Amino acid sequence: MLSQLELSETFVGRAFDAQSGRELVHEAMFGDQELYEPYRAIDLEGNWYIVCKVEDVASRVPDFDEVRDAVLAAWKKSEAAKLALAKAEELAKQAESSSDSIASVSGVQDAGAQGYEVVTTDMFSWLTFGTTQAEMRRGPRLGEAPPLEAVDAEFMTKVFKLQPDQEIALLNHDHSSAYVVRLDRREQTEDEMRQQFLAEANTWYGGRVMNSVRGGNAQNRLIRQLADQIDLNLDVLEEMMSKDSQ
Phi/psi region, residue 189 (left: phi>0; alpha: psi -120 to 50; beta: rest), is: beta
Contact at 8 Å (CB) between 159 and 153? Answer: no
Q: What's the CA gap between 236 and 30, in Å, rounded?
A: 19
Q: What's the CA gap between 34 and 84, in Å, rounded?
A: 44
Rounded to the nearest integer, the mean pLDDT of the chain is 84
pLDDT in tens, 69-100: 999 999 999 999 999 999 999 888 888 776 65
pLDDT in tens, 31-45: 888 999 999 999 877
Sign of CA dihedral 195, 143, 164, 118: negative
- pTM value is 0.60
* pLDDT given at position 241: 64
pLDDT in tens, 115-137: 678 888 989 999 887 777 666 66
